[in-house]
Amino acid sequence: MLMGIRIACFILMVVITPYGWYTWVLGGAAIVLPYIAVVLANVGANVRRTGAENPERALPATPSAPFIPGQDAPVLRIEETRAVERPRDSSDGQA
């Protein structure tokens, strides 16, 4: 809405003749209105207040099953495979 008023100020500033003090008022309004629009948008964006976040972990740090020495511990193995090469196309322009 404020940007529409700003555009109207620009148009009226140029169209209304003879130029006088109102030309300066319309020009000043066209310059100041974007600042007012940004301030109003920023004030309205933070309506809900949030509480402080708890820095503690949400889950307990203890393992679900205790480790007993001498037993086999579960091991996660990650194996990488070789890169698969695509077969070369014989129609690459070579005879």
- The tens digit of pLDDT for each residue in 9-68 reads 999 999 988 888 999 999 999 999 999 888 888 876 666 667 777 777 666 666 566 666
Domain that holds residue 23: 2-43
63-90 mean pLDDT: 72
- The answer to whether position 14 is within a domain reads yes
For residue 84, pLDDT beyond 60: yes
Lowest mean pLDDT among 48-52, 59-63, 69-73, 80-84: 59-63
pLDDT at 24: 92
- By the 10 Å C-beta count (0-12 exposed, 13-18 middle, 19+ buried), 85 is classed as exposed
How many structural domains are present in the chain? 1
Tell me if 30 sits within 8 A of 6, measured CB to CB: yes
- The answer to whether position 25 is within a domain reads yes
User: Can you say whether the dihedral through the CA atoms of 33, 35, 36, 42 is positive or negative?
Assistant: positive
